[in-house]
């Protein structure tokens, strides 16, 4: 038992060091599912489509299950109002929004109901706050 104590202690100390320093409270953390107000204000994009295309292009690609005859698309919501497919993002000026969130198929169906096989993009406008 004593011969394992040294290596075990060494592994414990290495794992403690590898965890890194704690983040300061002001430090932003990247979230692949959210475009923050700071990212919106720093972006050169003119509309929400350009914003998503620049910062989270994977959101515009269909994900999830495909079925025969599936012509569904990613659904866009502005303040919980259904706007249509991804092209609806072109109608929303960046100056009018505070954030954007991507919901996968399961989360979108839980929030908005069925017909969200490829997820949803939820745009939060300044007036909703």
The ranges assigned to domains in the chain are: 31-64+72-128
Strand pairing class (75-78; 120-125): parallel
- Architecture, CATH, for domain 31-64+72-128: Beta Complex (2.170)
Residue linked to tokens 């993002």: 89
Whether pLDDT at 23 is above 80: no
| DSSP H or E run through 14 | helix 2-18
The set of residues, in sequence order, having a beta carbon less than 8 Å from that of 44 and lying 6+ positions away, is: 54
- Which whole number is the average pLDDT over 55-77? 80
Predicted pLDDT of residue 70:
56
Predicted pLDDT of residue 115:
87
SS3 at position 70? coil
Predicted pLDDT of residue 57:
97
pTM for the model stands at 0.73
- What's the CA angle centered on 121, arms 119 and 123, to 5 degrees? 160
């Amino acid at each position: 038992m004593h011969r394992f104590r040294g290596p075990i202690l060494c592994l414990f100390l290495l794992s403690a060091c590898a965890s890194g320093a704690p983040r300061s409270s002001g430090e932003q953390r990247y979230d692949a599912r959210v475009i923050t107000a700071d990212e919106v204000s720093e972006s050169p994009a003119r509309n929400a489509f350009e914003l998503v295309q620049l910062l989270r292009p994977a959101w515009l690609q269909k994900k999830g299950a495909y079925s025969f005859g599936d012509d569904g698309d990613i659904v866009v919501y502005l303040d919980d109002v259904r706007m249509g497919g991804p092209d609806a993002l072109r109608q929303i000026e960046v100056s009018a929004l505070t954030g954007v969130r991507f919901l996968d198929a399961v989360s979108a169906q839980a929030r908005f109901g069925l017909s969200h096989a490829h997820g949803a993009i939820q745009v939060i406008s300044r007036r909703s706050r």
